[in-house]
Structure 1
Amino acid sequence: MSRADEIFINMCKDILENGTSTEGEKVRPHWPDGTPAYTIKKFGVVNRYDLSKEFPIMTLRKTALKSATDEILWIYQKKSNNIHDLNSHIWDEWADETGSIGKAYGYQIGQKSIYKEGEFDQIDRVIYDLKNNPFSRRIMTNTYVFSDLHEMNLYPCAYSVTYNVTQKKGEDKLTLNAILNQRSQDVLAANNWNVVQYAVLVHMLAQVCDMNVGELVHVIADAHIYDRHVPLIKELIERKPLPAPKFHLNPDIKDFYEFTRNDVSLEGYEVAGEQLKDIPIAI
């Protein structure tokens, strides 16, 4: 089976069997009908994906690779916080009348800081260090800026990425690894979506910096399954997973700012069952 499926199934079983419930507590999220959205949660979930072995996309149900890529480029390449620059509607709920989600995500990635080498925004500094100082332990991005939280329509969920470069014995090329830190995650709606997004980002950065891909480590402080998602999760993890597809990234792209959603593709991507439709989303 796909390693991503195995990780997902084990995580969901652990949450359902060993997690704690927020039922009866005062919670912020609610369903569109106004009912409180309670969860079963686990604290401190850590999942590891070896990108050198397979691409971590689930086969239990389809994850839309190009749409996930489009959103990650919206944040890190376009550095946008406006849904009019995005080709999907996943952020519509949190956008104002102008399309802005406030000083969140792409806005923060585009903020520039002064270094001894000059002025860089967050992702440009990452690329600079990977090319010029790859063994630095300070290569990271962060979108959880406390002074701007009051101007964000939604606090960042996946908020920080730390990059770490290693060199495997016998290999000339360096290997790019990354840790994605996430304060909170709706496991059904967002888990594999986020994993796929950041796997694509690592592949892109590795290619433009002439490196191999290594591990993506996903750290989730609060991994939760919403009450109305429990039966959907139970049905999903009973499906029979299939082998992982092969990931393709356009090898001709050497500049991060030239990537588009059409530069990613999958070979042999089959899914085990129908897509779950009309998943209720807590707001």
Structure 2
Amino acid sequence: MSKADELFVSMCQDILDNGTTTEGQKVRPHWEDGTPAYTIKNFGVTNRYDLREEFPALTLRRTALKSAMDEILWIYQRKSNNINDLHSHIWDEWADETGSIGKAYGYQIAQKSHYAEGDFDQMDRVLYDLQHTPFSRRIMTNMYTFSDLSEMHLYPCAYSVTYNVTEQPGDEKPTLNMVLMQRSQDILAANNWNVCQYAILLMMVAQSCGMIAGELLHVIVDAHIYDRHVDIVRELIARPQYPAPRVSLNPEVTNFYDFTTDDLIVEEYEHGPQIKNIPIAV
């Protein structure tokens, strides 16, 4: 069975059994009808996924992997903060009349800084360092820029990525690992979406740098299930589980900026029925 399913079920059950509630507290999110959106939450959840063993897509329900990849390309490859450059509609709620979500996500990745080797934006610097000093402990991106928060339509949830390379004696290639830091996560709506996104990002960066995609460590500060999601989550985690799908990239692509969603190869993805019309707190 999928290890991602096992981790997801265990995480959800722990939140439901042992989490604390925000009911009655002052909370920012609300439902479409204006009702406060309370949560059951756990603090400091960490999950570890090894891409050398399997791709971490849920089989309890389908995760739209190509759409997830498109959003990650929107942020880290196209470096855009405009929904007109994105093929899905998940950011429509936070966009203004021009399509902008403010100085958030791709805008931050595109910002250039000066180094001794020249000027680089955040993603270009990651790729440069992985190619020139792969064992550096300083290879990361960060989208939580305090001076720009007031001009973001939504503060970044998954905000920091740190890359780390390991190599055992006799390894044919170095292994690229990743730590994803997330301040807050709606577990039902976004957990596996984010996990799969950053697994694909790890795979793309590793392939473009001649490395093997290794471990993804996902750290969630506030892992929560919304009050109106509890019954949906209980039904979801009781479903049958299936073996993980086989997910790979077109091996011909070796430049990070050449990847498209057509280069994602998904095979043998067996899964349960999709959950439609999940209420989203805003």
TM-score of the superposition, structure 1-length normalised? 0.99
Matches within 5 A, 1:108-123: 108-123=108-123
1:243 partner letter: P
Q: How far, CA to CA, are the matches of 1:189 and 1:148 in structure 2?
A: 26
Q: Which residue of 1 aligns with 2:133?
A: 133
Q: Which residue of 1 aligns with 2:189?
A: 189
Q: Which residue of 1 aligns with 2:18?
A: 18
- SS of match in other structure, 2:207: helix
Structure 1 gaps of 5+ residues are none
Q: How far, CA to CA, are the matches of 1:274 and 1:217 in structure 2?
A: 28
- SS of match in other structure, 1:251: coil
Q: How far, CA to CA, are the matches of 2:113 and 2:41 in structure 1?
A: 37
Q: Any idea what the Cα deviations from partners look like across 1:112-170, whole Å, max 9, x if unmatched?
A: 00011111000000000000000000000000000000000000000000000000232
2:49 partner letter: Y
Q: Confirm whether residue 67 of structure 1 aligns to residue 67 of structure 2.
A: yes
Provide the alpha-carbon RMSD of the alignment. Answer: 0.5
2:125 partner letter: R
Deviation, 1:266, is: 1.0
Deviation, 1:248, is: 1.7
Q: How far, CA to CA, are the matches of 1:14 and 1:137 in structure 2?
A: 33
Deviation, 1:174, is: 0.4
Matches within 5 A, 1:15-94: 15-94=15-94
Tell me how many residue pairs correspond in the alignment: 282
2:275 partner letter: L
Matches within 5 A, 1:193-204: 193-204=193-204
Q: How far, CA to CA, are the matches of 1:175 and 1:107 in structure 2?
A: 29
Q: Confirm whether residue 149 of structure 1 aligns to residue 124 of structure 2.
A: no
Deviation, 1:265, is: 1.9
- Give percent identity, aligned residues only: 71
2:196 partner letter: V
Q: Any idea what the Cα deviations from partners look like across 1:204-232, whole Å, max 9, x if unmatched?
A: 00000000111000000000000000000
Q: How far, CA to CA, are the matches of 2:229 and 2:178 in structure 1?
A: 29
Q: How far, CA to CA, are the matches of 2:175 and 2:168 in structure 1?
A: 7
Do the aligned partners of 1:65 and 1:265 also contact (CA within 8 Å) in 2?
Answer: no
Q: How far, CA to CA, are the matches of 1:57 and 1:4 in structure 2?
A: 6
Q: Which residue of 1 aligns with 2:223?
A: 223
Q: Any idea what the Cα deviations from partners look like across 1:18-66, whole Å, max 9, x if unmatched?
A: 1000000010000000000000000000000001110000000000010
1:275 partner letter: Q
Q: How far, CA to CA, are the matches of 1:57 and 1:172 in structure 2?
A: 27
Q: How far, CA to CA, are the matches of 1:77 and 1:60 in structure 2?
A: 30
Q: Confirm whether residue 280 of structure 1 aligns to residue 279 of structure 2.
A: yes
- SS of match in other structure, 1:183: strand
Do the aligned partners of 1:50 and 1:214 also contact (CA within 8 Å) in 2?
Answer: yes
- SS of match in other structure, 1:24: coil
- SS of match in other structure, 1:200: helix
Q: How far, CA to CA, are the matches of 2:185 and 2:91 in structure 1?
A: 15
1:119 partner letter: D
2:174 partner letter: L
- SS of match in other structure, 1:184: strand
Structure 2 gaps of 5+ residues are none
Q: How far, CA to CA, are the matches of 2:6 and 2:154 in structure 1?
A: 31
Matches within 5 A, 1:205-220: 205-220=205-220
Do the aligned partners of 1:143 and 1:159 also contact (CA within 8 Å) in 2?
Answer: yes
